[in-house]
Amino acid sequence: MSKSMFDNMNRPKMIIFDYGHTLCHESGFDGVCGTEAILKHAVTNKNNLTAKEVSSFLNSLYNEIARGAKKQEIEIHNRNFEKFAYEYLQIDFDLPQEQIEKIFWDAASPGAAMPDADKVLAYLKKRGIRSGVISNISFGGGNLADRIGRILPDNDFEFIIASSEYMYRKPNKMIFELALRKAGLSAGEVWYCGDSPEYDVAGAVNAGIFPVWYHSRLERGYGDQSLEARPGDEHLYIREWPELIEVLETL
pLDDT along the chain (251 residues), means of 10: 60 97 92 97 97 96 87 92 96 96 96 97 98 97 97 97 97 98 98 96 96 91 61 89 97 89
Give the sign of the dihedral formed by CA 22, CA 27, CA 31, CA 33. negative
The predicted pLDDT at position 65 comes to 87
Entry pTM: 0.92
- Of the candidates 243, 174, 245, which has an alpha carbon nearest to the alpha carbon of residue 208? 174
> What single-letter DSSP state applies at residue 82?
H
Residues 6+ apart with CB under 8 A from 198: 171, 226
Q: Is 113 helix (H, G, I), strand (E, B) or coil?
A: strand
Q: Is 194 helix (H, G, I), strand (E, B) or coil?
A: strand
Backbone region of residue 184 per phi and psi (left: phi > 0; alpha: psi in -120 to 50; beta: other values)? left
The predicted pLDDT at position 224 comes to 59
CB 76 within 8 A of CB 70: no
